[in-house]
Chains A and B, each alone.
Chain A
Amino acid sequence: MAEVEIKNLSKSFDDLNVLDNISLKINEGENVVVFGRSGTGKSVLLKCIVRLMEPDAGEVLIEGEKVLTLSLKKLNELRKQIGFLFQSAALYDSMSVRENLEFPLIRNFNFLPSEREKKVKEVLEKVSLSDAINKMPAELSGGMKKRIGLARTIITEPKLILYDEPTTGLDPITSKEISQLIVELQKDLNTTSIIVTHDLICAKIIATHAVVLKDGKIRYEGNLDNLTSKDDPFLKDFFSSDIINEKYERN
């Protein structure tokens, strides 16, 4: 499991302050859901955590390691323990599903071919897509791509997983299935997760903790259930949907 600490993180693009002095602590084993309107820097926050983007100021600590000042070698060692599910799943177009899944194993770990094969089959079974092993990404539907993306993320058994809108663009049933899958994986692998989403059902299923971003700052941090009881017009407006009041139990 991994503990993540973000200290006074700021990032701007030209004149636009996307993240403005954000501080946040995520404890080991927590599933933190990050909400916010489009363009409020949720994905930027995730990318800054793994240093896919360099912030203008601030600090990110993962298991006490200062991510932003690590050498590339040490950063890559740390990245081997982190999984990142991209909004578009980001499957490698030129590789089959099997090759996509084997790719991080071949490059970063010394598994025997038989062990790799076993791992590939295991994760495909977890995402219920064993039949897709020899397909190319272009032959998969949006939901299947997300599942394979998830399988590729967990195949290295990371301690920290970052999800960038894991259910966006999916139908409600697939969306719910993926959310439940994330919870199952979190329990199986004992990971810490940060999930950026607009999907309240997904959040209800996954979240142990919620953060709301507005204008580059944290507007709310705490329990998901207390969100609607806040006397904040923005939060009331954002979470006005009745969905939040429905009962979706964590699996």
Chain B
Amino acid sequence: METKTNAPKELSITSKRLTDFFSTVTGLSLFSIEFFKNVFLPPYEFAEVRKHMDELGVKTLPIVSVTGFIIGLVLAMQSQPVMARFGAEAFLPGMVALSVVRELGPVITALIFAGRVSSGIGAELGSMRVTEQIDAMEVSAINPFKFLVVTRVLACTLMLPMLTVYVIFLAIFGGYLAIFLSQNINFVLYLHAVVRSVDFTDLIPGIVKTFFFGFIVGIVGAYKGYNTENGTVGVGQASTSSVVISSLLILLVDMVLVKITIFLWK
């Protein structure tokens, strides 16, 4: 009896969620098209892009440094006993490097970047929307999309690959430390093993996909913030949903790109 009474309500909740999902997908797609329409048109806001690269990218360095180092360290520590069981300890440097270059470095850096940057963009643009700062820009004959959105998305797209390269180096060093502590391995020998096992076919796809991840982080944060409604509550929602959506999209796009990479490079 109770199920019968609740059924229409549950149906309406499900239908609302589905509508929200499709409206977000459509909105995000149109927003991305708008980005590509604006990015090549003058005026070019180089100074703003540089400012955001510093604010969004350089200031993320401390958190990704710690994360990168720990990933490499823990990965080597966890893998060592397993590799030893198979008598394959010699492959440990290569295994750490390959894991970090191909997958862990790009994805973990992107997720950390999403957590810090996408939510920040969502909250900043959201509060600009609810306090009418975006309207003020528009009414002053200034294109707020170009000034606020294009610059941030570009900054994210350019910064994430650089951060990822940095994280990869730190993770490889973290891996060395773990192996050094247990096996007292020489650093040059370790580096030699790393370089021997990592190829350009490993490095290039790993780095190229971070351009996509950076774009996702920027565009999702900007989309949620730029379209914020419902005052300060909306700002909070924009910030939270930016992280959730961009993290999910990063994982989904990663899955697709890995498949494409395997198909292209095999």
Interface residues of A (CB under 8 A from B): 47, 50, 52, 76-77, 79-80, 82, 84, 86-88, 90-93, 103-104, 107-108, 156
Q: Tell me which of B111-119, B131-139, B242-250 binds A.
A: B131-139
Instruction: Tell whether B128 is near chain A: CB-to-CB under 8 Å.
Output: yes
Interface residues of B (CB under 8 A from A): 127-128, 131-133, 135-142
Residues of chain B with a CB closer than 8 A to A87's CB: 132
B140 touches A52 (CB 8 A): no
A93 touches B136 (CB 8 A): no
CB distance from A166 to the nearest CB of B (A): 14
CB distance from B129 to the nearest CB of A (A): 11
Residues of chain B with a CB closer than 8 A to A91's CB: 133
Task: Kindly report which residue of chain B lies nearest to residue A73, judged by CB atoms.
Answer: B141
B136 touches A90 (CB 8 A): yes
Task: Kindly report which residue of chain B lies nearest to residue A108, judged by CB atoms.
Answer: B141
Q: How far is the CA of A87 from the CA of B140 in the complex (A)?
A: 16
B131 touches A88 (CB 8 A): yes
A-B contact pairs, 10 of them (CB 8 A): A52-B139, A79-B140, A86-B135, A87-B132, A88-B131, A90-B131, A91-B133, A92-B137, A103-B142, A107-B141
A93 touches B139 (CB 8 A): no
Residues of chain B with a CB closer than 8 A to A92's CB: 128, 133, 136-137
CB distance from B147 to the nearest CB of A (A): 8
A103 touches B140 (CB 8 A): yes
B142 touches A104 (CB 8 A): yes
Question: Which of A52, A82, A86, A107 is in CB contact (< 8 Å) with B142?
Answer: A107
B135 touches A90 (CB 8 A): yes
Task: Kindly report which residue of chain A lies nearest to residue B134, judged by CB atoms.
Answer: A90
Task: Kindly report which residue of chain B lies nearest to residue A75, judged by CB atoms.
Answer: B141
CB distance from A67 to the nearest CB of B (A): 12
Q: How far is the CA of A103 from the CA of B143 in the complex (A)?
A: 12
CB distance from B61 to the nearest CB of A (A): 21
Q: How far is the CA of A129 from the CA of B131 in the complex (A)?
A: 22
Q: How far is the CA of A50 from the CA of B136 in the complex (A)?
A: 11
Task: Kindly report which residue of chain A lies nearest to residue B138, judged by CB atoms.
Answer: A52
A108 touches B139 (CB 8 A): no
Q: How far is the CA of A107 from the CA of B140 in the complex (A)?
A: 9
B142 touches A88 (CB 8 A): no
Residues of chain A with a CB closer than 8 A to B128's CB: 92-93
Q: How far is the CA of A39 from the CA of B141 in the complex (A)?
A: 27
Question: Which of B133, B137, B138, B140 is in CB contact (< 8 Å) with A93?
Answer: B133
Q: How far is the CA of A125 from the CA of B217 in the complex (A)?
A: 43
Q: Choose among A77, A87, A92 the residue with the greatest number of B CB atoms under 10 Å from its CB.
A: A92
B141 touches A52 (CB 8 A): no
| Known A88-B131, A90-B131, A93-B128: A80·B141 in contact at CB below 8 Å | yes
Q: How far is the CA of A88 from the CA of B232 in the complex (A)?
A: 14
B131 touches A108 (CB 8 A): no
Residues of chain A with a CB closer than 8 A to B138's CB: 52
Residues of chain B with a CB closer than 8 A to A86's CB: 132, 135-136
Task: Kindly report which residue of chain A lies nearest to residue B135, judged by CB atoms.
Answer: A52
Residues of chain A with a CB closer than 8 A to B135's CB: 47, 52, 86, 90
B139 touches A84 (CB 8 A): yes
Q: How far is the CA of A124 from the CA of B18 in the complex (A)?
A: 52
B139 touches A50 (CB 8 A): yes
Task: Kindly report which residue of chain B lies nearest to residue A107, judged by CB atoms.
Answer: B142
CB distance from A127 to the nearest CB of B (A): 17
Beyond A80-B141, A90-B132, A93-B127, 9 extra complex contacts between A and B, CB < 8 Å: A47-B135, A52-B135, A52-B138, A79-B140, A84-B136, A84-B140, A87-B132, A104-B141, A107-B142
